[in-house]
Amino acid sequence: MSKFNQAKRIYFIGLKGVVGFSAKHLDRPIDLVIRSSAYSDDQVEVKAAKEKKIPVLSYAEALGELAGEYKSVAVCGSHGKTTISAMLAHVLKQANLSPSAIVGSAVPQFGGNALVGSGELLVFEADEYQNKLQYFSPQSVILTSIDWDHPDFFPSADDYFATFVTFLKKIPTDGFVVACYDSDNVKEAVDKAGLSPEQILTYGLTDGRLQMVRMWLDEGRWHFSATDGEEYLGEFWLKLVGSHNVANALAVIACARRLGVDLEAIRTGLASFEGTARRFENKGKLTNGITVVDDYAHHPGEIKATLKAARAFYPYKNIRCVFQPHTFSRTQALLADFVMLFINRQFRRQLII
């Protein structure tokens, strides 16, 4: 069990963990079973819990109940959820708001993938797969993008799109959405959700009220300037790589300002954020001096953004992309997009599968 990071954390905080599955694990007083959606009702422990009339919730259902106890911000969309969730939580923490947070990857500055704060705010990554969004009723939402994904569950792009529209309609009248208007699909979803103008905060690299003016790379840090309507917000800098992370930072600026965070506190928080695991994560160098970077990008749009960021950050280096296809269904459904990406003259000499 020691080889699993989550198991290490369980033991570190004093909880008892067991390896393997057995109905005997439920032969003691248990109030609630939370299961991964990877396990069906026939899984041995789930089945035993149901036979013993022990309440069973999926992870998404449990997260929805937890989020209901807070003034919550759900970060959703096809891309950027993990980075924005962690970045926003970090900025709020640095601003002394003591938020709680649940992120879909390890965040080194958190010592794990979560924060437990004493404040009223919860920032959480809201995964759309298997329509988990149906279990969440957040106060506010950040919507990054809508690019058809998870074809094993959403048979068409229209089905996928409709899930986000339904989710936005759940925002209460005193809540808001921070929407990336670089995406036409996001624009359409916000329009169909029927929110009032006061509830809609827009951002983007090229469109939206809060917008990037220019960006540049200087001494290994990404710098950018931004405006909010007619207001010039000044310059910001990031430890993260790529224009997509500038867009992520814009979402955080828009949300944090709406939550009452001072602009200078936001600027300081962004500058100190170190990123999350497997998001352009520098893993070190091989014995021959080659730098190895690990990134979870698995959708054609994400891979394109990561490769563009790598080229910008290492302009004079040879770059090789070692691509591991992620799920058969996605690879099959989006094969044409993968092919068009990798035969692009900019990337075609970089691919190893």
Active site residue 169: no
Tokens representing 246 are 């500038």
Which residue is associated with the tokens 């004079």?
316
Which residue is associated with the tokens 């790598």?
310
Tokens representing 240 are 């993260």
The single residue of 45, 61, 83, 125 carrying the catalytic annotation is 125
Instruction: Tell how strand 112-115 and strand 33-35 pair up.
Output: unpaired
The single residue of 82, 163, 202, 306 carrying the catalytic annotation is 82
Which residue is associated with the tokens 């005997």?
24
Q: Where are the alpha helices (DSSP H) in 286-327?
A: 300-313
The single residue of 81, 93, 132, 187 carrying the catalytic annotation is 81
Q: Where are the beta strands (DSSP E) in 69-218?
A: 71-76, 100-107, 112-115, 121-125, 140-143, 177-180, 200-204, 210-218
User: CB within 8 A of 248, min separation 6: which ones?
Assistant: 80, 83, 84, 87, 144, 240
Active site residue 81: yes
Chain centroid to CA 72: 15
Active site residue 327: no
Chain centroid to CA 57: 23
The distance between the two most distant Cα atoms of the chain, rounded to a whole number of Å, is: 64
Q: Is the CB of residue 124 less than 8 Å from the CB of residue 72?
A: yes
Catalytic residue ranges: 81-82, 125
